[in-house]
Chains A and B, each alone.
Chain A
């Protein structure tokens, strides 16, 4: 005691105590901080908060207890959400698709996200509490670095390219619906979309494409997005339509311009 008390005015004591305090705080934070991956499964408070948020922002279409709401004419205002899982909530709200700004053919990705990550995780916890469903993936689930782009390319062409185009530039579906471009979409969103099947997209569960396959696809998309185009400008990566348009307008236009110039030369 005396030895410790005697040292309490030692010049290093302040620095030592500061380090100790930082270490304790940091460890405690690491131990108790909410981990995003498990946020949906956390305590009852989350669920209660989430339910409040849900009823205030989502129940108009999805019903007060997320049971879904029918419009009476055979169409539904919003589907029942029991069993869609925290992952679906994280995808729809995290990309700004929900809450829907206005009824339309298809919910669109928004630049401005209306809810904080915490609020989103609270709603997710509420929806997850209704019935089991896919949880929000952890960063190791969708890390592009652990995927094989070549295998991912093969999987992508078989499962995704018919709607999203060979280069992930997107494509048209029936009646104004569309498969959006996948260029620049965060790996987590791609993973969640595969697991939950938003809008017109089918669900690719783990028996259909296993988690490694999903990482391969994400790695492939990353490669397509990052790799330079060896052939020059890619004209929107839309295939022969843009190439034909270019040949007619610019190719023929330039050559006719040259022909006119030559035609005037001797006249």
Chain B
């Protein structure tokens, strides 16, 4: 909150008050002593004081990122436990542990140690399941957090960099997840690695060299498990934690965004300080997240590696899927048509594999990373934004986001085409063709639907502001006319509906200057004007004070002032519908006028 000023009127009332000394117990003195000792040597008190007084706004959607953070911490804690017993080695052993159905079966040390963790280490299985469920929840929560940030426009200046960091975090999280999924050397993870090797080989020109480099020779070799282990427990966690710290520090420095509301401006943050409210809430939420994940791990089996059996390059199982976060790349691979593989100059180019399996992830994240900059450029927006957009107020962005998510989920569901086929009794070929076809029309359809819904909601907001709330009170005038009384919104309710800035498409200046010479960058400006037109052509702008004033006094809006409408009620409407619709019918007057 804003700093207190010395001349507040309320201060006068407190002039005579005696200052209350904080009661100091012995324990408190002791704590103070320790804190003082530390502060004397580190000077930490200033920073801690700053952090503890930091104010955070309250909204459930701001806690999605917290779910991700806590799931990551749960992953780190449970992961440390697993490293105590996991043996990252492809060395071959014969199993003699306590799981009977695999007695005497040859397997790698990695798989054996994972079996031991599951069956012979006390609490090992539940910790393994906590680790895996936490990893799934981490990636789920990261995605949900990303949706929130995108649809509320929280990525706008000054937070574009933090959006970029977040995108990289999300991408690294799925790589980290895949590395972990591949470590136990069971049939499923080995199949995943085999697929990954194929993807590498499909890279044009460098493919086979790349695969040999990563696997240190032909597949499977003995190098991949120890290498993945270093990547999974050392390299990626270090980068993840580093970037995550930067992510959090930027949130603290730039302050948290907030939804528009009474008293919430672009220059303040309204909420509660960290100490004590958010320390309690966030601390409590950590335990809730940990608890829910532990409950899932205790009740629901995940990745039953003992059922898959040890990896051996010859078998493969039906229903081989990656974990969900790799699903979209796998699905893209499944629905890419086969004719994209061809021979050129005596070399086979496997674009049927490379496009989906190698190309999609960089393209998706590339588009996501670029978006804030593109939108900023189209708008010509150089201002800072600390107030969030309501998704309906930026219809084209919201619709673009939904279209992108549609692409994403089509790809993701395509990865489960065999499960869908067997569970719904359909042909896998038909399902694949269906997904291929949906790629061409569903995202556009979803774009259009979402945009129309947003525009309708905005018009509804305008309508509500101009005409007030339907009170349900029917008034009969002395001369027998009926009308419904509309109550004016109170300013607190009205403010979130009218606070946003009006938007208009950029007008294209002439491509030539006064002398008829082509202007520099005119082509770029034309593109920008076109895009701006695409974004804001049918923008519904908020009610202006003038419009609101007109609604109160102008003809046709007497409903708010409880005056009986004189010209709108037709006799045929009065008996059936009491003229309520008539009051509403004039909304077209306030529609968009930006064409």
* Contacts from A to B (Cβ < 8 Å): 105, 149-151, 153-154, 157-158, 161-167, 169-176, 178-179, 220, 223-224, 227, 229-235, 237-248, 250-252, 254-256, 258-260, 262-267
Contacts and interface: CB of A to CB of B under 8 A. Distances in A.
A263 to B, nearest CB: 4
Contact of A158 (B102, B308, B314, B415): B314
Nearest to B308: A166
A167 B304 CA distance: 10
Given A172-B428, A247-B136, A252-B137, A161 B272 contact: no
Nearest to A178: B422
Contacts of A247: 133, 136-137, 140, 324
The 10 closest A-B pairs by CB, nearest first: A171-B318, A244-B324, A231-B301, A176-B427, A172-B421, A263-B60, A259-B63, A166-B317, A247-B136, A172-B418
A262 B309 contact: no
B448 interface: no
A231 B115 CA distance: 12
B301 A234 contact: yes
Contact of A224 (B277, B307, B428): B307
Contacts of A233: 299-301
23 contacts: A150-B101, A161-B187, A162-B317, A162-B318, A166-B187, A166-B319, A169-B319, A171-B317, A172-B428, A174-B429, A224-B307, A231-B125, A231-B304, A232-B299, A233-B299, A233-B301, A241-B319, A241-B321, A251-B293, A252-B140, A254-B292, A256-B60, A258-B288
Which secondary structure dominates where chain A touches chain B? helix
Contacts of B416: 241
Given A167-B307, A176-B426, A248 B300 contact: no
B104 A150 contact: yes
A100 B535 CA distance: 60
Interface in B411-448: 415-419, 421-422, 425-430
Contacts, number: 213
Nearest to B181: A240
Nearest to B136: A247
B127 to A, nearest CB: 12
A132 to B, nearest CB: 33
A153 B58 contact: no
Nearest to A247: B136
Interface string B273-317: 000010001001100110011001011111110111100101111
Nearest to A235: B300
B144 interface: yes
Contact of A171 (B102, B272, B418): B418
B100 interface: yes
Contacts of A245: 324
Nearest to A162: B316
Contacts of A227: 101
A267 B59 CA distance: 9
B323 A164 contact: no
Given A166-B318, A178-B421, 6 more contacts: A157-B312, A158-B312, A172-B318, A233-B300, A251-B293, A262-B281
- Of the candidates A170, A245, A248, the one having the most CB atoms from chain B within 10 angstroms of its own CB is A248
B327 interface: yes
Nearest to A161: B317
B324 to A, nearest CB: 3
A70 to B, nearest CB: 24
B199 to A, nearest CB: 18
Interface in B161-189: 187-188
B67 interface: yes
A162 B313 CA distance: 12
A240 B321 contact: yes
Contacts of B144: 252, 256
A58 B62 CA distance: 68
Contacts of A154: 105, 309
A234 B308 CA distance: 13
Contacts of A243: 136, 302-303, 323-324
A251 B133 contact: yes
A262 B141 CA distance: 17
Contacts of B102: 150, 153
Nearest to B419: A241
Given A149-B101, A176-B427, A251-B296, A240 B324 contact: yes
A220 B306 CA distance: 13
A245 B422 CA distance: 17
A173 B293 CA distance: 35
A170 B425 CA distance: 12
Contacts of B62: 263
Contacts of A263: 58-60, 62-63
B316 A244 contact: no
Contacts of A179: 318
Nearest to B278: A266
Nearest to B139: A247
Contacts of B118: 230-231
A176 B425 contact: yes
Interface string B37-73: 0000000000000000000001111111011000000
Nearest to B289: A255
A247 to B, nearest CB: 4
A13 B130 CA distance: 76
